[in-house]
Amino acid sequence: MENDSVRTSGGSTLVDMWIDGKLRAISVSADAIDAFLHLTRERSAALTDDDRREFVRTHLTLVVDAAAKRLRSTGADADAVTIERGDLGLRAAPQPAERDGERRSGDRRRGERRKLNLGPPTSGERRRND
């Protein structure tokens, strides 16, 4: 997608896309992005316009699905669609307690991986003698 296709205006991120055979202006509110990402007020305030544009760029299928759903519920003749809080769907909330420690529950290796000391080579082998 081109750099100028996704832009911000105030508290919304705008993108123009073809949906159902018509060019439509899709506006994704900052609240919709914050709700999808489960952001607190502090982290929400830290998100820049560039971060919001990048979110829309990387989640275009999610945005298109939400816009198409909104069009079906309001009317397919609209030229502009606004995606508000809750329209993007739900994403599982991050679990910080699970991320803090070791990820593995146990050692995946079952036994000792080192080879046993086999002693000196037999007379037919071409290895060097120590």
pLDDT category at 130 given cuts 50, 70, 90 is: low
pLDDT tens sequence across 8-45: 888 899 999 888 888 899 999 999 998 888 888 888 88
Nearest to 14 by CA among 62, 40, 49, 65: 49
**Residue 72, pLDDT score:** 87
pLDDT tens sequence across 82-113: 999 888 876 655 555 555 556 666 666 666 66
Q: How far, CA to CA in Å, does 59 sit from each of 6, 15, 49, 69, 123?
A: 12, 12, 15, 16, 66
Tell me, what DSSP letter sits at residue 99? Answer: H
Angle between helices 30-37 and 49-58 (to 10 degrees): 70
**Residue 29, pLDDT score:** 92
Q: Which structural domains are found in the chain, ordered by start?
A: 6-89 (3.30.160)
Q: Is the pLDDT of residue 128 over 80?
A: no
Backbone angles phi, psi at 90, to 5 degrees: -110, 145
Alpha carbon distance 39, 47 (integer Å): 10
**Residue 27, pLDDT score:** 93
Average pLDDT of span 54-60: 91
Which DSSP string do the residues of 59-90 spell out, in sequence order? THHHHHHHHHHHHHHH-TT-SEEEE-TTTT--
